[in-house]
Structure 1
Amino acid sequence: MEINSKQDRLKKTIDFLKFKNLINSQKELASKIDINANSLSQAVSGNTRYLTDNLFKKIYIKFQILNLEWLLKGVGEIENQKLTQQSLEPNTINSLDSFSPDDILDYIIVNKEKFRLEPKVDAVVALFSNFEQQRVLQQAYNKAAEVNNLIEELKKKNGL
């Protein structure tokens, strides 16, 4: 079934998730995909600022029973036929190979609290934090060197 309007697809998605007893309300969906309930309400109302592909990706990441191509383009069926055929539980996957790095990162962002409980993730976060701190320190050092150079130039100009 092809549904061209993003707004219609979002409404149908919410109804489908309710029918499958995966959510009880629009507010619950917003909570599960870690967005503000008002933002989701704006999207349902058709506000294109909120009705984005990123919103559909967040929904898909949380509810992989849905068909991502249908969510994004309205092509195919709403339900992920691969999961239906394999009789997998929603949110269960066998391989990450079928997902783009962006989709994987989106999933991690949406589920960040779960990932923070993993010691390996904490180690990676600490590593990136150290890299970020080093980058900030290098930028500060470069600025300080620039200021020193300017001071030296001013001293030379003023004969000091």
Structure 2
Amino acid sequence: MKPTFLRNIALLSLLLVTSLPAQADTAIVDPWVREGPPAARVLGGFMTITNSSDKDDALLSVSSPDFNMIEMHKTEMVDGVGKMILQERIIVPAGGQVMLKPGSYHLMLMMAQRPLKSGDSIKVELSFESGKQSIEMPVRKGGGMMMDHSKH
């Protein structure tokens, strides 16, 4: 083979490897959606996000064909009242994790395209600084504190 051909193959291989997203360092553990009443317009989404890299990562946005809109929120107590604060990003620290759980960080899944019940699942795309990940989130019954979203 000609040296030029081998060099081009090596450069192409290097380009492909360096252009891959770094999502292997960011893992999603136990994703799920809380089942709501049949007419619910807003559901909560939860998971643990781990980051095994030596650099912080950030969840920037979430989308799903099953919902018109998904926002990232954090529930905080302000003067004894639980308030949901819209998050532009959720930092996942280097070598650490962040838990999206009832009463803390969570996803607000709004305007479902179809009724969802325990046993169903939805497709979700998570956009991180390090790249995108597509996951399935099962719908299940769940306990724990969630806030009333009717006036949200």
TM-score (norm 1): 0.26
Relative contact order (C-alpha < 8 Å, sep 6+): which is higher? 2
Give the structure with the higher percent helix: 1
Q: Which has the larger radius of gyration?
A: 1
Higher strand share: 2
